[in-house]
Structure 1
Amino acid sequence: MRTARRLALIDRPTSELAALPRRAPLSAHHRDPVLDVVVPVYNEENDLEPCVRRLHAHLGETFPYAFRITIADNASTDGTPRIAARLAAELPGTDWIRLAEKGRGRALHTAWSRSRAPVLAYLDVDLSTDLAALLPLVAPLISGHSDIAIGTRLARGARVVRGPKRELISRCYNGLLRSTLAVGFSDAQCGFKAVRRDVAERLLPLVEDQGWFFDTELLVIAERAGLRIHEVPVDWVDDPDSRVRIVSTALADLRGMARLGRALACGRLPLSALRRSDGDLAGELPAGLARQAVRFAAVGVASTLCYLLLYVGLRPATGAQAANALALLASAVANTAANRRLTFGVRGRGGALRHHLKGLAAFLVGLALTSGSLAALHRTAPGAGREVELMALVAANLAATLLRFLLFRAWVFPARDNDRRTTGSS
């Protein structure tokens, strides 16, 4: 059986949950679960029982609140329904539902929609992800700090055992997402996620996919709406008997990306209605805009002063245009680094190169504006003095700063906010 082949991995510390009150015995509160863990299955008669029993034992020993396990059988044709029914009868706090059609997304959509637990989660039946990460996954949702939590195999701190083929496919898929939909999360399809129920109630009606792209679509919509996504690096061991059909799944994912990209570009998704109720409602400023604008302005003042000092120092030796280009390049690199950390709250080295490359592209916009203003000044007023040059450059830099802020927010650091997204490895 596949579950028998899981490798023993070192448990992660969960000291952040030590202060939480311990739950009463499950039998006393199983009708009022705080967490509902869904296990979607299709023809898993061999792995279903050991998976559910191991999950039930783990939650019973470590989870500080009442829980429920929901087996979501999507049209199995083997003995899976019989085993699911027996487990639901034998294990307290275990339930099962049966769907007439296949599709992991369909199973999750159905199970999450009917649940009344405050926190909803799911994991794959093969238990590729070490269960020690389950508590760190759901803790930020129980506390209200985050809206969605995902396990990631691609962040620093994750320990992954899998072949080069699946590693390459995973990295290419997530790289394609970053380049086409400008996502900030690192791993879209790790089968280990959780969401607050109130957030799921707003997200699920907008998610069209019923298959493997369900996870990606839900995360992209959530991120574009400015919801908080918490990432937990996981220990993950590849299942050598995976049932995923790589080619057909990849084609379906590409179609899903194209459809979702069109919907976002055309404004067909009501993202404002999804935003958090704590100051990010429809009709108000986008998530964190005021705070980001203030910090960006402060960084901009410092980098402008740096730019002007460099320009004045370089101009006698290099000429106006060369001095402008060199001073702007140096200040742009520093500006991107400062805004990455201070304005958009991005910590760690992950994505730093990509951010700086995009920041340099934004720098080219500033270079075009400032160089154009110098050229126009020298053509219309050939005898203009140094003070007039500086005034023209300051005006051009103000325009370039505004454009750069918009580019940073929408493209370089899309939908990021210092308190919106945290990464466990940072």
Structure 2
Amino acid sequence: MTSPFLSIIIPAYNEEKRLLDTLKQVFTFLESEDYPSEVIVVENGSSDETYALAQKLTKEYANLRVLQNKKAGKGLAVQRGMLEAKGQYRVFCDADLSMPIEEVRHFIPPNLNSDIVIASREVKGAIRYDEPGYRHFTGRIYNLLIRLLALPKLHDTQCGFKGFRAEIAEDIFQYQSIDGWAFDIEILFIANLRAYKIVELPIPWYYKNESKINVLRDSFRMFLDLIQIRKNARQGLYDQKKV
């Protein structure tokens, strides 16, 4: 197989109901593009038939790879996918495709050339569809904490669509220590320490009520993770290893 230009990584936890449709949309998009690509589904600790379904779909899609983590954790799944991907550009996206997959065109050359591109629901030009007011409010409160404690210049770190140049991904994901929802804050924090260029890209975003996030529980967990990120930085755990 030709070395892929683009790798799309999809973490999948209990996604048997929508994985088939998600992959159909992803591969329909990729078939319209003129570069080699791969899709990596990383199943992480599901209690349903997500892994079996994904494995079955490898017979239909030649450039689909399926990995399995025994331990749950979105962060673990994305980390493994990013480090095992072969693409020159590596984008991870949520299985609900709350951002239309076609938007990935704007994450990569020739449309955009950056170290890191993150989808944003907050910068000028972004549009939110069908999001309950309370979810937007709680999200902004949490983002305020993120800006105060970790990433003052970013407006939306938690949208589940982010892209990296291969060498950047291979550098920063090896230092990731957080398994859960706050992993991307840690990754962006490390990237910021390295002075990598991060672009926030405005997107159309569609609220999906099947979201697995529990606002109160996961917000508290992510707050604790923010404190841990700052502690890790003070201890030098994100310092680049000397070769």
Instruction: Give the alignment's TM-score, normalised by structure 1.
Output: 0.54
Identify the match of residue 92 of structure 1 among 40, 62, 70.
62
CA distance in 2, matches of 1:133, 1:189: 17
For 1:153, the equivalent position in structure 2 comes to 121
Alignment of 1:184 onto 2:153: yes
Aligned residue pairs total 241
Equivalent of 2:26, from 47, 50, 55?
Answer: 55
CA displacement at 1:80 relative to structure 2: 1.1
- Answer yes or no: is 1:132 the counterpart of 2:82: no
SS of the aligned residue for 2:177 comes to coil
Distance in structure 2 (CA, Å) of the matches to 1:268 and 1:40: 25
Give the SS at the match of 1:91: coil
User: 1:90 is paired with a residue of what secondary structure?
Assistant: coil
Higher RCO structure (Cα 8 Å, ≥6 apart): 2
The one-letter code of the counterpart of 2:30 is L
Q: For residue 121 of structure 1, what is the aligned residue in structure 2?
A: 91
SS in 1 for 2:114: coil
In structure 2, the partner of 1:245 is 214
Offset from partner CA, 1:192-217 (integer Å, 9 cap, x none) = 11111211111112211011111111
Q: Answer 1 or 2: which has greater strand percent.
A: 2
Asked if 2 retains the 8 angstrom alpha-carbon contact of 1:183 and 1:223, the reply is no
For the Cα contact (< 8 Å) 1:35–1:66, is it kept in 2?
yes
Look up the SS of the partner of 2:91 in the other structure.
strand
What is the Cα deviation at residue 166 of structure 1? Answer: 1.1
Counterpart residue identity of residue 152, structure 1: S
Is residue 34 from structure 1 mapped to residue 5 from structure 2 by the alignment? yes
Q: Percent identity?
A: 25
Counterpart Cα distance in 2 of 1:182 and 1:40: 24
**What pairs up with 1:6-405 in 2 under 5 angstroms?**
30-61=1-32, 63-139=33-109, 145-161=113-129, 162-270=131-239
Equivalent AA in structure 1 for residue 25 of structure 2: R
Partners of 1:76 and 1:136 in 2: how far apart? 31
1:43 aligned counterpart, secondary structure:
coil
Give the distance between the partners of 1:183 and 1:224, measured in 2 at CA.
13
Contact 2:40 2:85 in 1 (8 A): no
The letter for the 1-side match of 2:196 is L
Paired letter, 1:207:
Q
DSSP 3-state at the match of 2:59? helix
Separation in 2, partners of 1:81, 1:182? 35
Residue deviations 1:205-237 (CA, integer Å, cap 9, x gap): 221101111111101110122101122101001
| CA shift digits 1:15-64 (9 cap, x unpaired) | xxxxxxxxxxxxxxx54211110111111111000000111001211x33
Q: Is the 8 A contact 1:152 1:158 kept in 2?
A: yes
When structure 1 is superposed on structure 2, of 258-267 and 72-81 the one drifting more is 258-267
Q: Distance in 2 between matches of 1:118 and 1:170?
A: 32
Separation in 1 of the partners of 2:53 and 2:215?
28
Q: Is the 8 A contact 2:151 2:189 kept in 1?
A: no
Quick one: distance in 2 between partners of 1:268 and 1:106?
A: 18
Rg bigger for which structure? 1
Q: Please tell me the residue identity of whatever aligns with 1:155.
A: V
CA RMSD, Structure 1 to Structure 2 (Å): 1.9
Matching residue's letter, 1:195: F
Using the TM superposition, give the Cα deviation of residue 267 of structure 1 relative to its aligned residue in structure 2, in angstroms.
4.3
CA contact (8 A) 2:25 2:101 kept: no
**Does the Cα contact within 8 Å between 2:39 and 2:64 map onto a contact in 1?**
yes
Larger helix percent: 1
* Partners of 1:190 and 1:182 in 2: CA distance: 15
Deviation, 1:190, is 0.4
Q: What is the match of residue 7 of structure 1?
A: none
8 A contact 1:31–1:93 mirrored in 2: no
Can you give the 5+ residue segments of structure 2 that lack an aligned partner in the other structure?
none
Q: Distance in 2 between matches of 1:199 and 1:105?
A: 17
